[in-house]
Structure 1
Amino acid sequence: MCGGLFMTLCILNYIQDNLSWGLGFGIPCIVMGLALVVFLLGSFNYRFCQSSDENNPFIRIGNVFINAARNWQTTTSAISVEQEVQGILPHEGSEQFKFLNKALLAPNGSKENGKICSIDEVEEAKAILRLIPIWTTCLVYAIVFSQSTTLFTKQGATMDRSLDLNFEVPAASLQSFISLSVVIFIPIYDRILVPFARAITGKPSGITMLQRIGTGIFLSILSMVVAAIIEKKRLQTALEHGLVDMPKATVPMSICWLIPQYILFGISEVFTMVGLQEFFYDQVPVELKSIGLSLYLSIFGIGSFLSSFLISVTENITGKDGQISWFSDNLNQAHLDYFYWVLAVLSTIAFTAYLYFSRSYMYNKSSSL
């Protein structure tokens, strides 16, 4: 996927910048149309159906929370009695989120059939709830990752992008270094880092999924620090050459200065994004695999919204009373470097919280086994 993305970014961005935006959008439109036709033709030849009498997992988990809320006044002794009636042994339920055990009783203490949740359904709900702290702390990583396709490109558009007299590198094409870093670093990770870590830790995977995610988050902090330093240098270069009041002028600083922050993003993706996909898919029961993947994907969807919200708030705060905001259309007067430092601080706070929650998760996970 990253290999195809690398080629696409290089080719389509060049077409859009130098030939035609219409052609640049038309090519992927035609390709997607052809892909849809092939998909529809192939769907006639593929059928997989697994019959099940179980309710939809969203319904099952929702019923647990609804029943637990209805029985909020239920005492611990009543829950223990019900567990004995159902033949549930003490070790069959985790100690964390014990308030959800109230869903084992029918509302108002009645014995109405169909309204009592099973211990397996309660444990499913606990498994999802246990993931929420990890999910929350990873939202900041998604906010940081959003900058690689937005503000980084805006920076690059102001810099010297010429490779020779007749060719200019499209600013957006530098995103291809993220894909290139992923393609190069994944074999290094699998063939060098994992065996080395395995020899130290004795674990087949070398490091745990949570450690892999944490490493990526730490690298994203470094990428923000590097981005802030490079942006500060770009602003200083614009000042030295008298370009502060010339937003359309090219700052005499090579766009290649941005490559390190893109590479750091790519390496962090190998750790965090792959680790998150593994983690949320692995740490839920078989019946909830789709929910696990949806939790993983929602991190980046919601993170993008939060990024827009954070930029909007920062714009309003720094640009009030006629002041020049950090996101001024004239980037030579703006201060993206300040925003990058803010993201670095937020990421550091989130990383600290992640370390705490990951240790807590492993402790509760082991105590429930």
Structure 2
Amino acid sequence: MMHESHSPQRQDALTLEGFSSSTRKKKGGWKSVKYILGNETFEKLASMSLISNLVVYMHTQYNMETTFSVEVFNIWSGFTNFLPLVAAYLADAYIGKFRMLIFGCIASFLGMGFMSLGAGVPSLRPPTCSTLSDCIPIKPTALQLAILYTGLGFFAIGSGSLRPCNIAFGADQFDIKTEKGRAQLESFCNWWYFLFTVALLVSLTAVVYIQTNVSWFLGFIIPTGCFAVSLTIFVFGHGTYIRLKPKGSIICDLLKVILAAIRKHHVDMKEDSELSFYDPPLSSNESEDSRHVKLSHTNRFRFFDKAAVITNQSEIDNNGKSIDNWRLCSLQQVEELKSILTTLPIWLAGIICFLSMGQANSYGILQALQTNKSIGQHFIVPSAWMGLVPMIFISLWILLYEKIYVPLTKKKTLKGKRLSIEQRLGIGIIFSIASMVVAGLVEVRRRSNALKHKTFESHTRIWWLVPQFGLSGLVEAFAAIPMMELLTSYWPESMKTLGGAVFFLSLSIASSLSNVLIKIIVVVTKRNGGTPWLGGNDLNKNRLEYYYYTIAVLGGLNLLYFLFFARFFLCSEVLQRQGQSEAGDEENNYQQSM
């Protein structure tokens, strides 16, 4: 997808390697997309096989305490979700999406290779305990941790490189200015989501079962092989791809506006009629593309308007262009920055939602580990299978929403009434609170049964965890999906890639907040000498429910913040301006980014 800026350097660089009408006929389209879909399917199968079972692996194979394993997971998840911002900048400005995808595949393959090495060589792991309840853990050595962290590091780099580029590179293969191209792009997205779902089901069932009940080494070798296949398929189709050259990054333009406004802080912002603003027309590339709209001047964040004020005629050349883009920016660039600043209050509210959503893959899995997981006498449900529950709830909600709710409202209003971003985010925040309250109540039951029978694994069956995992999925449906819609559909076209990267940045911040909260709770509760809320290898000796209730309280404060402050920014002139011409499927926007 093309994302032009307004600096001459970026406009001139917006070219295709060998681009012409004949090139479009020879390259791109379905003959190239089939390789991209194959690459993405095997990559997702491999990555989800690690993510879904990582906490269990570190806890059981490296003798990590519950708190430490969750902290490592959160740090790794935080870096994985932060790096797409860096990768998007590098891909746009320097190396292009194709090379970034190659780099990401190689890094992910190396990461999975190191994980397999640690799982397959006994000397690279500490001796494990036969029963976790009676375990006096032997801590992993520096070398053992180095192998583990190197694998996770490579994997984070690879995943962070792939996320912002895979869908965008697929979209580059179609000419979306034509009706046929738009239809092909929609079909591509549908196939992408279908294959993503298949990969997720295989990884969360077959591969996770092998890891938990057969062999961790075999369970890691399979995704390592998938990465090798993924890279091979992608490279094999290199001659069919349409490859856009690096065109510069919107991040640079935003920094230019900030710096230019600071340089001109002395400018007295009077009435617009008394000021001369630099407001050139869109470039030829942008004006020919119907997706690009000239943004009107707004009165919010007036300080940044100073970046577009012409204080001296020497700031522009004979052709009316800015001589120094770091001192004089266009109003278009200023309004793009305002679009970001206007969504920040909503974005901050989403981070607290993601804080509760992230507990399912960390402490939620550890809860499942200490429940009764047996079905009959011979089958044990892998703890990581609980990761299927949120996906099922999301799918059910989308089905009910698209096939029942919207058609019913269409009968009454002639046009299907869809829930607004404000409504969905509000519901998502409420679900985030409910998920933590339910998780706390279930933990009280699980722990009480374990203490009553003096067992490590509670007699409480694993199915009691379904409500909290299901609510986590609804948080994702009502909070994460509209957040992705806000950051992609309501930002200017030139900022779509950045919007996706900022979404992953919010997940990164949520992971970091979770770690900070854990450390504070551990320090405070140990100081009082009572039962620690978190820590050790046995949740039965903790009060995990208090940790959940703390996050629920934060969710309550977040709800008040949203209702009395943040939601009013959804009615701002910036968002209304952007939303007038935007439609589309918010669920597809979100699923395409994952």
TM-score, structure 1 as length reference: 0.88
**Superposition pairs for residues 17-28 of structure 1, below 5 Å?**
17-28=212-223
Structure 1 residue 251 displacement after superposition:
1.3
Comparing 178-187 with 157-166, which one deviates more in the overlay?
A: 178-187
Structure 1 residue 240 displacement after superposition:
2.8
**Superposition pairs for residues 68-217 of structure 1, below 5 Å?**
68-77=261-270, 80-83=273-276, 92-105=296-309, 111-112=314-315, 113-114=323-324, 115-197=327-409, 204=416, 206-217=418-429
Contact residue 371 and residue 462 of structure 2 kept, 8 A: yes
CA distance in 2, matches of 1:234, 1:110: 73
Match of 1:116, SS state, is coil
Aligned to 2:590: none
Aligned mate of 2:501, from 287, 294, 303: 294
* 1:358 pairs with 2:567: yes
Match of 2:460, SS state, is strand
The 1:229/1:86 distance shift into structure 2, 3 A limit, reads closer
Aligned to 1:29: 224
Contact residue 3 and residue 183 of structure 1 kept, 8 A: no
Aligned to 2:514: 307
Contact residue 195 and residue 206 of structure 1 kept, 8 A: no
Aligned mate of 1:250, from 435, 438, 457: 457
Match of 2:554, SS state, is helix
For residue 362 of structure 1, what is the amino acid of its counterpart? C
For residue 66 of structure 1, what is the amino acid of its counterpart? L
Match of 1:76, SS state, is coil
Structure 1 residue 199 displacement after superposition:
5.9
**CA deviation digits over 1:106-132, x for unaligned, max 9?**
6x8674332311111110110111111
Structure 1 residue 322 displacement after superposition:
4.5
CA distance in 2, matches of 1:173, 1:187: 22
Structure 1 residue 56 displacement after superposition:
3.0
Contact residue 143 and residue 304 of structure 1 kept, 8 A: yes
Aligned to 2:127: none
Comparing 29-38 with 78-87, which one deviates more in the overlay?
A: 78-87
Comparing 300-309 with 16-25, which one deviates more in the overlay?
A: 300-309
Aligned to 1:4: 199
Aligned to 1:229: 441
**CA deviation digits over 1:189-217, x for unaligned, max 9?**
21112234556777645111332233222
Aligned to 1:278: 485
Structure 1 residue 144 displacement after superposition:
1.0
For residue 256 of structure 1, what is the amino acid of its counterpart? W
Compute the RMSD of aligned alpha carbons: 2.6
For residue 17 of structure 1, what is the amino acid of its counterpart? T
Structure 1 residue 366 displacement after superposition:
6.7
Comparing 227-236 with 108-117, which one deviates more in the overlay?
A: 108-117
* 1:316 pairs with 2:514: no
Contact residue 327 and residue 334 of structure 1 kept, 8 A: yes
Structure 1 residue 231 displacement after superposition:
0.8
Match of 2:459, SS state, is strand
For residue 237 of structure 2, what is the amino acid of its counterpart? G
CA distance in 2, matches of 1:201, 1:341: 41
Gaps of 5+ in 1: none
Aligned to 1:38: 233
Aligned to 2:540: 332
Match of 1:231, SS state, is helix
Gaps of 5+ in 2: 1-195, 282-294, 316-322, 579-594
Identity, % of aligned pairs?
28
Structure 1 residue 180 displacement after superposition:
2.0
The 1:157/1:119 distance shift into structure 2, 3 A limit, reads same
Contact residue 218 and residue 351 of structure 1 kept, 8 A: yes
Structure 1 residue 333 displacement after superposition:
2.0
For residue 482 of structure 2, what is the amino acid of its counterpart? G
Aligned to 1:267: 474
CA distance in 1, matches of 2:278, 2:481: 44
Match of 1:328, SS state, is coil
Structure 1 residue 343 displacement after superposition:
0.8
Contact residue 225 and residue 344 of structure 1 kept, 8 A: yes
Contact residue 185 and residue 270 of structure 1 kept, 8 A: yes
**CA deviation digits over 1:53-78, x for unaligned, max 9?**
xx631111111111111222221238
**CA deviation digits over 1:157-179, x for unaligned, max 9?**
11111111111111121111112
Contact residue 390 and residue 472 of structure 2 kept, 8 A: yes
For residue 138 of structure 1, what is the amino acid of its counterpart? G
* 1:343 pairs with 2:343: no
Aligned to 2:318: none
Match of 2:519, SS state, is helix
Structure 1 residue 259 displacement after superposition:
0.8
Contact residue 389 and residue 466 of structure 2 kept, 8 A: yes
The 1:236/1:348 distance shift into structure 2, 3 A limit, reads same
Aligned mate of 1:62, from 247, 255, 261: 255
Structure 1 residue 321 displacement after superposition:
5.4
For residue 261 of structure 2, what is the amino acid of its counterpart? A
CA distance in 1, matches of 2:280, 2:205: 63
CA distance in 1, matches of 2:396, 2:467: 15
**CA deviation digits over 1:60-112, x for unaligned, max 9?**
11111111112222212386533378699xx9411111111111136x86743
Comparing 258-267 with 204-213, which one deviates more in the overlay?
A: 204-213
Match of 1:83, SS state, is coil
Structure 1 residue 284 displacement after superposition:
0.8
For residue 202 of structure 2, what is the amino acid of its counterpart? M
How many equivalent residue pairs? 359
Structure 1 residue 184 displacement after superposition:
2.8
CA distance in 2, matches of 1:73, 1:192: 57
